[in-house]
Amino acid sequence: MGIAADIAIIVVGGLIGGLIAQRLRQPLIIGYILVGVLLGPNTGGITVSGIRDIEMLAEIGVALLLFALGLEYSLKKLQPVRRIALIGTPLQMLLTIGLGLLIGAAIGWTTYTSLWFGAMIALSSTMVILKTLASQGRMGTLSSRVMIGMLIVQDLAVVPLMIILPQLHDPEAGLPVLGMAVVKAAIFLGAMIFIGTRVIPRLLAAIARWNSRELFLLAVTALGLGIGYISYLFGLSFAFGAFVAGLVLSESDYAHQALSDIIPLRDLFGLLFFTSVGMLLDPAFLVANLGLVLLVVLLVGAGKMLIFGGLTWGFGYGNIMPLAVGLGLFQIGEFSFVLARTGLRGGFIDNDIYSLVLTTTVVTMVLTPLVSGQADRIYALRQRWFKHEPLQTINLPAGGLSDHVVIAGGGRVGSAVADVLQRLGRPFVVIELDQRRVDGLKEEAMPTIYGDASHRVVLEAAQVEHARLVLITVPTIILTQATVAEVRRINSTVHIVARAEGLEHLRALHDLGVYEVVQPEFEAGLEMTRQTLLHLGIAAAEIQRFTDAVRDELYAPLYELHSDYQMLSHLRGAARLLDLAWVTVPEASPLSGKSLRELDMRRQMGVSVVGVVREGDLNTNPPGSYRFTAGDAVAVIGDNDQIAALQELAEPDSHPESAAGRAE
pLDDT tens readout for residues 234-253:
777 787 788 888 878 877 77
Residue 618 pLDDT:
77
Query: Going by C-beta distance under 8 Å and a sequence separation of 6 or more, which residues neighbour residue 490?
Result: 456, 459, 460, 464, 465
Name the phi and psi angles at 558, rounded to 5: -75, -35
Q: What is the pLDDT of residue 532?
A: 86
3-state secondary structure of 450: strand
Q: Could you give the C-alpha distances from 189 to 72, 86, 176, 244, 651, in angstroms and in order?
A: 18, 21, 20, 7, 77
Q: In one letter, which amino acid is 248?
A: V
Per residue in 167-203, pLDDT tens?
A: 787 666 556 766 776 787 788 878 887 887 788 888 8
Helical axes 656-663 vs 640-650, angle rounded to 10° = 170
Residues 6+ apart with CB under 8 A from 111: 101, 104, 105
> CB of 431 within 8 A of CB of 410?
yes
Please report the pLDDT score of residue 430 as a whole number: 95
Q: What is the pLDDT of residues 139-168, one digit of tens each?
A: 666 788 789 889 878 877 887 888 788 878
Fill in the amino acid letter for 444. Answer: E
Q: What is the pTM of this model?
A: 0.58
The torsion angles phi and psi of 215, rounded to 5 degrees, stand at -65, -40
Q: How many CB atoms lie within 10 A of CB 661?
A: 10
Helix (H, G, I), strand (E, B) or coil at 596: helix
Give which of 110, 29, 631, 75 is closest to 368, Cα–Cα. Answer: 29
Q: What is the mean pLDDT of residues 527-554?
A: 75
